[in-house]
Amino acid sequence: MFLLLYAFIVTLFLLYKLLQHKEEYFLRKAIPYAKPKFIVGSREDFLLRNSALTETVRKWYNEFPNDKVSGIFEFSTPAFIVRDPKLLKKLTVKDFDSFPDHRMFLSEEADPLFGRALFSLQGQKWRDMRSTLSPAFTGSKMRQMFELVSSVGQQVATTLNAQIKNGGDSSFEFKELARKFTVDTIATCAFGIEVNSFAHPKNDFIRISGKISNFNSFLTMLKFIGYFMIPKLMRLLKVRIFDEETTDFFQKAINETMRIRERDGIIRHDMINLLIQAKQGKLTHEKEIEKKTIDGFATVEESQVGLSTVTRKWTDEDLYAQCFIFFFAGFDTVSTVMSFMAYELMVNTDAQKKLQKEIDEMNEVLEGKQVNYEQIQGMKYMDQVVCETLRLWPPAPAVDRICVKDYEMEYDDKKYLVEKGKVFYIPIFGIHHDGRYFENPEKFDPERFSEENRRNIDPDTYIPFGLGPRNCIGSRFALMELKTIIYYLLLNFDFVPTAKSQIPLKIAKNPTQLQAENGIWVGFSPRK
């Protein structure tokens, strides 16, 4: 017992000395930094679960308001917070070759789904996979898929209308409702499978989506902490974030879909078709010159990624991982934004009525027929509401980049070395809530994105889908989903508060996800 106690005390002492030594990293560079706490560094929220992710990012951002760069400690590892928009653009676009990757804390061996997914890939493999997948997310592909998305949106509204008129519930936890819509949309657009989660709420897609979205469990938190603190040991032990059932589900769903299509010669313009071509080594993709925009805000051209003809032959596991990350990102992040958008429209009735007026006018022109891609893209106030929701509630409050070669950081009168392997964070939530860039930043105000006001916004300060060539590849699809579900729901219902609605909204103390404390409950009142 004495030896165990002695070993424990020595270990704590060594950890303390290690953290004390690490502090010198920022002192030598004359960078202000958050004083680290023993063991946890600057991430006590991760271990103690005492702060929402948004508040953690806000704290990082506001701690040194007059400095473009500051430091934090992820447990004992120093990391940079870059808060200046112009410097961020330089690092992520002009000097992209020095910071092309996200930190990969899950290896392919440890977790075949997460580790092989586009978000986790690094170097040339990431470039090749980005090139392979880019054709699935062009404007022309969105037009082809929109009819499927629109049909699901119309089906949702019709089902809910019938349910309410027959005396069923008219109050919904909106993220659960949105999850069903996004799961159905992705199942049909990516897998070519019709699910109808409203008629069959216990289907396998919904069940699996519930499992993989539960990042808030204690066991999952321990796994993430392990990958932060002892990544080599976690990889050696092959600790997986997701269980074998989840992996097997995606493998079987994709294999069966591919088998039927190859057997029957079925061609659909979706991700599965793209992956079949990639698997056969038949897919070639030249640089895409089309410039992407996010509701009027220009983003980096795909050609800047250095995309070139891809002849790499992908393994089955590589393809499973891309379907998984498309499914995961598509249903969880999009349903989160949808729920916050519904909340803001519920409590800001003037904005809701103005959007309904625009929707009614479009429906009158269409004479009740389905809206098409160009028409919904042309709805100006819808754009404003979506933009303002993404500003106020960005689905990823912060994202990282890792330095892949020694880089000389230079700004103002400072110059210092950022060593290979060091990480910096883009504090998106902090920038979006900075009063210097957005007047009265805590207010939901779609008018700030009107045509006359939009020009007053520095585009480098509005980054809901990230920055540079590593920005979100699925942003177009996400925007299409957002607009479609809101169009059909507000065409048929008013969003009203219920006894379960938490107003004002409180954010859950979840260190990994943007989540409402008690959910977002919205009442649906059928319009007359």
Query: Is omega for the bond preceding 526 within 30 degrees of 0, making it cis?
Result: no
- CA pseudo-torsion sign 485, 380, 328, 339: negative
Strand partners, 293: 298
CA distances 482 to 34, 106, 292, 449, Å, are 37, 30, 18, 17
Distance CA 168, CA 347 (A): 24
Q: Is 189 annotated as a binding residue?
A: no
| Dist CA 75 CA 340 (whole Å) | 31
Burial string for 409-445 (b: 16+ CB within 10 Å, else e) reads beeeeeeeebeeebbbbbbbbbbbbbeebbeebeebb
- H or E element in which residue 504 lies: none
Helix residue spans in 173-243 (DSSP H):
174-190, 204-212, 218-229, 231-237
**H or E element that contains 312:** none
Judge whether 231 and 224 are in contact, CB under 8 Å.
no
Neighbouring residues of 311: CB distance < 8 A, sequence distance ≥ 6: 281, 284
Name the token pair of 85.
């928009």
CA dihedral 330, 336, 342, 346 (to 10 degrees): 180
- As a whole number of angstroms, the distance between CA 464 and CA 429 comes to 9
- Say if residue 60 is exposed, middle or buried (CB neighbours under 10 Å; 0-12, 13-18, 19+): buried
CA neighbor of 185 nearest in space, from 302, 314, 338: 338
Contacts of 194 (CB under 8 A, 6+ apart): 184, 187, 188
Q: Which residues are annotated as a binding site for heme?
A: 472
Q: Which residues are annotated as a binding site?
A: 472
